[in-house]
Chain A
Amino acid sequence: MIGKLVVENVRTRPVPTLLSILLIAVPVTLILILVGLSHGLVNDSQRRALGVGADILLRAPSSNLMSMSTATIPQELIPKLLTFPHVVAATGVVTQSAGGLLETVTGIDPAAFNRMSGGFEFVEGHTFQKPDDIILDRYYAEQKKVHAGGKIHLMNRDWNVAGIVEPGKLSHIFVQIGVLQDLFSTPGMVSQIYLKLDDSKNTDAVVADLKSKLPGYPVYSMRDLVSMTSVDALPVLSTFTHVIIGIGVLIAFVVVCLSMYMAVLQRTREIGILKAIGAPKIFILQMILAEALIMGFGGTVFGILLSYGTRALLHSLVPSSLPQAVVYIWWPISGGIALGAALLGALYPGFSAAQKDPIAALSYE
């Protein structure tokens, strides 16, 4: 019977209920976008790192994983690394910021990079032919709306788009390593070196060997690198997520509190009637909380649908910069947050309704 009362109450005030659901959906969507972007960016970065085909990464001294390392490793180190046992291929790359959001240009030695990664899969065009040639992956090309043979302006100069390749190999933007070294006055220097071994089983032994012989150089197996760049390993993201959750709870709390407070005011007389026919306080409270639960549940479902909308929008506008993953485990979490906040928001109106004096409530016009 409470269910019937609640459903009829919702049906008689559809606009305020729908507005509340919409407003509760906003923080749910925000949480899902944030978590989706965090996972999307990390997954994308891991996929591209593994796409190099290397077993080990060697970075510049004093660099850390979360920052872009400057080109401070002498290129002469590469032939020396090839003399280490089990190392069958080595390639150095230079990374530079392209200026845009999360945009990185990577300078590669095409021959060595192709040997290690298996080569690019060209969608359009061809490999580098001239110094100002640039290769883009399909996502970045779609985002910038350019095709092979076109021009793109990056790092204060124009580049010829030589080819467009399938995504998933280290970077979205590639130029020749020498060109990038000259451009940033770091000739003969690389940012990091990738190593391929004869057998992946030898990775730990080679990592240990490299660490002992090249003190100061951070050396990672690609397997460890992937686990170290997981979303959980990024404390800043976790803090940011908590802040968004806090804002979400606040929004859902205030929205439901206001909406249910207004609903209780509007229904003062009905609450008086229920009390007159013997409804105990818990009955009135349950009725108000059940209505808040409907709003919280509706807001969760609508928020999830909205997050698919933002995902489609981001994918069509900025497919390479902001990949938004669908993280199913966060559906119940964000739903729980919305429902919890909705219940909290309904507590005050619920208690105030339950406490109403039946005589005063019955005379309310």
Chain B
Amino acid sequence: MSDPIISIRKLRKVFRVGEVDIEALRGVDLDVPRGEFLSVVGPSGSGKSTLFHIVGGLTPPTSGTVLVGGEDLSKLGDEGRTRLRQKTVGFVFQKFNLLPTLTAGDNIEVARYIAGNRNGPDPEFLRILELLGITHRLNHKPNALSGGEQQRVAIARALVNRPAILLADEPTGNLDSENSAAVLGLLRGLNRRLGQTVLMITHNPEAAAYGDRIVRMQDGRIVA
């Protein structure tokens, strides 16, 4: 395994809810080597979603260091985190989160446009689309697609700018077992064939088993 693409030390995150401070992460240390498929498991409230949000640049850490692709997220402002989301990380959510007014193809294109990439799709991305099996569904709007198809479009959108890390938050949470297996197989395939680093959060032990490694979180800490 090569040098870590994600390196986290003493990560803390405190949320203020009303007048109460809630410590969601209590000193997390984690290294994710480039090209690894890492599954993060843990019960609700264990802090895995907060970890996902911080690594994805959706929220800043309270303290500690979070190096993603060599960049320290604790030193990035809003603009820096926006840039990170454009270029370095790609998200796949439980609820697919496609823009309902745009076609599948435009949902992918909008991510490319926002990242400032005005060139058409590169040959490697066309291969990804074929691998995902959605090339014939790109002109349809999300409401005309099945859950499995929507999630495959979301994966394509997450990968269109060739990010260093693919972050998947319960990617099979809204899918039946057949589509779950297909989506997990695709993530596994992307990891194996293209060396795509994948960090997946899940409740499901069967889904977690698709990863190279499983880390378990509890009460804001990594326990195993």
Contacts and interface: CB of A to CB of B under 8 A. Distances in A.
Contact of B82 (A270, A272, A273, A280): A280
B58 A270 contact: no
Contact of A274 (B83, B90, B114): B114
Given A5-B110, A359-B53, A359-B58, A277 B85 contact: yes
A9 B102 CA distance: 9
B191 interface: no
Interface in A196-239: none
Interface residues of B, number: 29
Given A273-B97, A359-B53, A359-B58, A278 B102 contact: no
B85 A274 contact: no
Contacts of A269: 97
A10 B45 CA distance: 39
Given A276-B85, A278-B115, A5 B97 contact: no
A157 interface: no
B109 interface: yes
A272 to B, nearest CB: 8
A278 B93 contact: no
A4 interface: yes
B111 A277 contact: yes
B91 A277 contact: yes
B70 interface: no
A362 interface: yes
Given A277-B111, A280-B79, A4 B106 contact: yes
Interface residues of A, number: 24
A280 B59 CA distance: 15
Contacts of B53: 359
A15 interface: no
Interface in B91-140: 91, 93, 97-102, 106, 109-111, 113-115
Contact of B59 (A5, A278, A281, A359): A359
A12 B101 contact: yes
B26 to A, nearest CB: 19
B102 A4 contact: yes
Interface in A29-73: none
B151 interface: no
Interface string A253-284: 00000000000000001101111111111010
B114 A279 contact: yes
Nearest to B96: A273
B177 to A, nearest CB: 26
A349 interface: no
Interface string B60-83: 000000000000000000110011
A358 interface: yes
A362 B94 CA distance: 11
Contacts of A283: 114
A8 interface: yes
Nearest to B82: A280
10 contacts: A1-B110, A5-B99, A5-B110, A8-B101, A11-B101, A269-B97, A270-B100, A277-B91, A359-B53, A359-B59
